[in-house]
Each structure stands twice: as structure tokens, then as C-alpha cells.
Amino acid sequence: MNCLRFSVLALSLTAICTSTSAVFAGCAQPAKMAYSQAVTTQKFIDIGQKTNQDPIDLFRCAAEKETDPALKGKYYNGLASAFEKRGKTEAALMAYEQAALSGNQSAGSKVFKAQESGAYKPRAMVLIAQVIYVPKALTKNGSRFALLLAKLVDSGQLKGPEFKTSSYWMQKAARGGSKSAIRSMAETASIRGDIKNAAAYFRMVDKKPANIRALREARNYFLGKGSQKNPRVGMAWLAYGSTLSPVPSAKLAARFFRLTKGVVYSDELKRIAAAGGIPNLQIGSGGNAIIMAAYAAAKTDAEKTKVLASLFALSKSGNGTADFSLARILETDGGFANFTPAEFYISALEKNNIIALPKVGSLLAVLDPSDLRVKRVVGVLSRTAQSGNHEAQKILGVLYIVGGPVKIDYAKGTGWLKQASDAGDVEAKYRLGVLLVLNNRDGADLNIGTKYLQSAAAAGNKAAKKFVEDLSITSP
């Protein structure tokens, strides 16, 4: 095994030596004598004296002839030192590698540091890993060795069951306190989408508050700052951050939305923004301001169409955010030709742009029952309400109670209001409570209605509170 271990490097070192004839002359001596003579010769050279022999040849001869591993390692160390003094770094590291394979720990540390820094790649990588890196990595203070093994296994430079997995070594390094390993595990967990574990790893090495770290990672991944761009991971961090700091997360969501023109994770960004107090997230205000200014300056329908061409294209591709932006711009002058604000508000909601919901709901107050858009509006409101949106449920509830573009249907109206109320909508609780109390038939509606009113009042609805107070005065 030792012969196999040393043969490749020995041949390489022979090629590096300067004088073949001197090598053979030196090799005529026993190993210990050659080493002793090499040390003496090197000392003469160090003080500026000329010698007839080259200490490199003598050190190499001693190392190759020696059979005792400890002495062989010592002799190769001497050879490496001689190469270093001549500025032959690569040859020195090759000699240190031979010394390390002989079991010399100090030489092994030099090889490790050189490979860790990227300055050297051992010729006998597998043997060095088996003899030096693995045993060191398994010790209490072996984090750096474990980290290097993780990289070598991950890159495919080390293979086989004896080298386990990169994850094994990374965890070993992390348990030993390696900040690099912990950060690497955090990044791996991030890419995997396991944000909670990633955050836990960061907390082990990061003095920053968890919410600050979450938003920083969101920016880094979403925008590609400090790491490879990955909007999916950025969104995962932003969603996590929104549970810790809703308002700063909302602002960041709005920024992402503007930068991507509302075409990347649009719905998720709107949800996070709304949760933090920014309910009407739109395409970048700067871009819209430019379009609005150009639209206001346009004199003809053809010019207006040209100004809005980019938004029209996005709308045709299914972008509900573009529809909402078009509606807002057209609303400044009522629209032109066949392009009206109402049409694009409806289209925006049909494409699941929830921020258009209030606008679509308000259309019902002005639409005539014969208007063909009534069916579309009621249809999209119904689909939105059925998905669990309590605002749409409330709008439908009021619609069927008040009537207008649709026939009054008390059962449908109270049914939708009940769904919105049970979902926590305070205004819906107030409206439903009033309806049940005023339309009380057998006493049951009165009790249920009163409970809804009391719940709305407790949530801060002043009208509900006043109604409950009046109800208690007038009730027998």
C-alpha cells in the first residue's frame, strides 16, 4: 500500500530535481546519512557558502530510501523546506503531501491549508483525504476539515461510502461551530424552501433580528443582490418576513411589484402588501405617471391607443394588473372609442386582480338591469365570493337586499352576508344584524341579529353600538 501511495508523487518529485547525476551520487548513502548531510549542506547554503552537493537531492534521496514512516515524513519535510527556500512552492507542497502520507501531522496541516485556500490540489487526493482530512474532521475541533470534505464530496472530487455525504460533513462542521458551514446550511435550506430552518441556522451566527435577516434575504434572492437571483426563494423569505414585520414587508412587496411591473408573483406580492397596509398595489407609479402624462397630452384616439400600447399588450396576455392600470388611466377622461374604465375594472377582477373588487362593486349602483355587463359583474363577483373573499360576499349580500340591476332576493342576500359575517367582516355583521332584527319573524332572527350587532359593536363599529343601545331601550 505504501509503495502505491508514494510512487506517483515520487516520480513527480524526481522530475522536479535539478541534477539526476547528483541524485544517484547522493543515493549511494544510507538514508540517515543522506539526511544529515542534506541538513549540513543546507546550513552552508543559508549562510552564503557554496557546496558541491544539492541539499534537495540529498533530502529526496533520504526520504525515498527511508522505510520508517516517521523518519520518511521528517525527511520529506526537510525536502519541502529546501524547495520553499528556492521559491518552488508547488514542489514544496508535493513534498509536504508525501510527508503527510507518511503520517506527518504538521505536513498534513500545510497541505490542508493550501487546498483550503485554493492554492493547491493534492496529487493523491483520495489518500490525503483518508489519511489526514477524515480523521481530523471527526475530532472535536475538526470543523474546517469537515467543511472542506463537504465541498470535495459535493463537487464529486471524493466519492465512495467512506466519504459519506456533503450534508453529513456540513452538519459535522456546523455542530463544531463553523460559521461558514452554518451559513451554507442556511443557504441550502433557503433554496429548498425550508425557510424556518434557514432562519434558525442564521440565528446561530447572526446578531441581526430575525425580521431584518428575513427581509435582507428576500431582497438578495428576489433582486439577485449578494446571491444568485431566485425570485421563488425571495418570495418565501418575504412571506416569512411578513409574519414578523408586516409593514416593512408590505413596503418591500410594493417595491418588488413595481420593479417587476406586476408580472412576477403578482398575487403573492399584493397579498403581502395588503396585509401590511398597502391595499391598492399597482404597477410602478413612476411608469404609470409617465403613461398618464403622455395620455393626457394625446389629442386623438390613435395617439391614445399608441400611448397605452404596452398596457394593452399586457392585458391581452392575461395580466390583470395591466387591466387595473388601464382602468385608472381611462378613468381620468372617461375613456375613448370602445375602451372604458368599467370594462377594464371588470376584466381585472375576472383575471383575479382583487384590488379591482371595490370598483366593480360600485358599478352595480349605476348599471341598468338591461346592461349586458350585469351578468358579467354578478358572475365574477359570485366566483370571487365562492372562493372565500368576504368583501365580494358582502357586496353580493347588499346587492340582493337592495336590488337594482338584479331582483331582490332576501334569502340570497342574507346568505351572502352571513358568509361574510362568519368570515369576520365587521360591516357585514352590522348589516346582517340590522336585517335580521328589522325582519324578525318568530324571535329567532331577533336573537341571532342581536348577536351579530353585539359582535360588530365589540369590534368597534359605532353604528352597530348605537343600534344595540337603541334596541335595548325600545325592547320590552
pLDDT, averaged per 10 consecutive residues of the chain (476 residues), comes to 41 39 57 91 88 89 92 93 92 93 90 91 92 88 85 88 84 77 79 83 80 90 80 91 90 85 81 81 56 85 93 91 89 88 92 88 83 90 90 91 87 91 88 86 76 88 85 59
Residue 79's pLDDT is 94
> Could you identify the residue written with the cell 430552518?
197
Measured on CA atoms in the order 24, 25, 28, 32, is the torsion positive or negative?
negative
The number of residues in the chain equals 476
Residue 309's pLDDT is 93
Provide the CB-side half-sphere exposure for 273 (13 A, CA). 23
> Are 208 and 253 within 8 A, CB to CB?
no
275 vs 51: CA distance, rounded Å: 83
pTM to 2 decimal places: 0.44
Longest dimension (CA), the chain: 126
> How many CB atoms are closer than 10 A to CB 11?
9
Residue 111's pLDDT is 93
Residue 436's pLDDT is 87
Nearest Cα residue to 379 out of 405, 408, 401: 405
> How many CB atoms are closer than 10 A to CB 68?
12
> How many CB atoms are closer than 10 A to CB 122?
23
**Per-residue cell: 457:** 359593536
